[in-house]
Structure 1
Amino acid sequence: MKVHLNINPAIKEDEIIITVKEMNTKVERILSIINEDDANGVIPLQMEERIYLVELHEISHVISEDEKCFAFRGKKKYRYKDTLKQFEERYGKHDFIRISKYCLANKVWMEYFEATFGGSLVVFFKNGEKETVSRKYAKELKKALLKE
């Protein structure tokens, strides 16, 4: 892989051009770093016709529902512009962990867990919301919570 860096103090805005033969994991990692817009820990979320700038630590969990992505801040549900996967790639290092195919949970907002009669696990958040932890992600969740 060739890399060219051209530093030009005369330009008004940084521009990155990537030319690849095909998409691969290395390029995806580079793009995720470039696209990280959480330098200040704030992301834009939409509710009705307004855009709110919300700090990541205020979000309890993010879900995918009807092919749309929503973030919960307190009891309020906001629309996130991208997919759940893109949210995970950008902000996963900010205490978010996948608990199901449709949900990312903020570890800081988890209050307690309950087992159901069917053997599944439900996480209750400090804001009163709850989500089911799928069996597929239960082991990963346990590891992430117990390593701290």
Structure 2
Amino acid sequence: MRVEIVEDPAFTETVVRIGCARLDQQVADLVARLRILDRTVVGVEDGTTYVAPASEVRFVESVDRRCFAYTADRVLESRLTLAEFEDRLGDVGFVRASRSCIVNLSHVAALSPDINGRLRAVLDTAEELQVSRSFVRPLKRALGME
């Protein structure tokens, strides 16, 4: 892969152009990593509203019909549903891990087998998430393991 950067004061915004022989998984992953830079997650913690870059969100969990986005140092409660999070972040590397959780694949450090065909996903913050059996295959596919 060759990277070229053209600096020109005439540009009014940053433009990223990708040239490739065909759109493969590596190019799709690169595009997802670029797109996540423009996404944010808004949530409330201790009465204060915070805006966090989506790239900093490790996972989003639904508990008692309320959604929480977890970063390394914050737990933000959001008004969005888990399905809305999945719609907004699905194209930038977030995948379903269970009926109540989506995970940011860029923060998955390790996977290990768990009982009954489930997986245990270890995040870069050492947190562990259980991946339900029905979501193991899509998660592995998203990671390029299948």
Aligned to 1:7: none
TM-superposed CA distance for 1:75, in Å, is: 4.4
Picking from 51, 54, 67, the partner of 1:53 is 51
Aligned to 1:14: none
Whether the 8 Å contact between 1:75 and 1:129 is mirrored in structure 2 is: no
* C-alpha RMSD over aligned residues: 2.0
Aligned to 1:92: 90
For 1:72-87, what aligned pairs fall within 5 Å after superposition?
Answer: 72-87=70-85
The DSSP-based 3-state class of the residue aligned with 1:146 is coil
The DSSP-based 3-state class of the residue aligned with 2:76 is strand
Deviations 1:68-124 (A, max 9, x none): 001110143211211000111112111101111111000100000121244421101
Mapped partners of 1:111, 1:69: distance in 2: 23
TM-superposed CA distance for 1:135, in Å, is: 0.5
Aligned to 1:8: none
Aligned to 1:24: none
Give % identity. 27
Mapped partners of 1:43, 1:72: distance in 2: 10
* Bigger-Rg structure (1/2): 1
Aligned to 1:103: 101
Picking from 60, 64, 67, the partner of 1:66 is 64
Higher share of residues assigned helix: 2
Whether the 8 Å contact between 1:75 and 1:127 is mirrored in structure 2 is: no
Which consecutive residues of structure 2, in runs of 5 or more, have no partner in the other structure? Answer: 1-35
The one-letter code of the counterpart of 1:46 is: V
Mapped partners of 1:46, 1:95: distance in 2: 23
Mapped partners of 1:39, 1:126: distance in 2: 19
State the TM-score, normalizing by the size of structure 1: 0.69
> What is the number of residues matched between the two proteins?
111
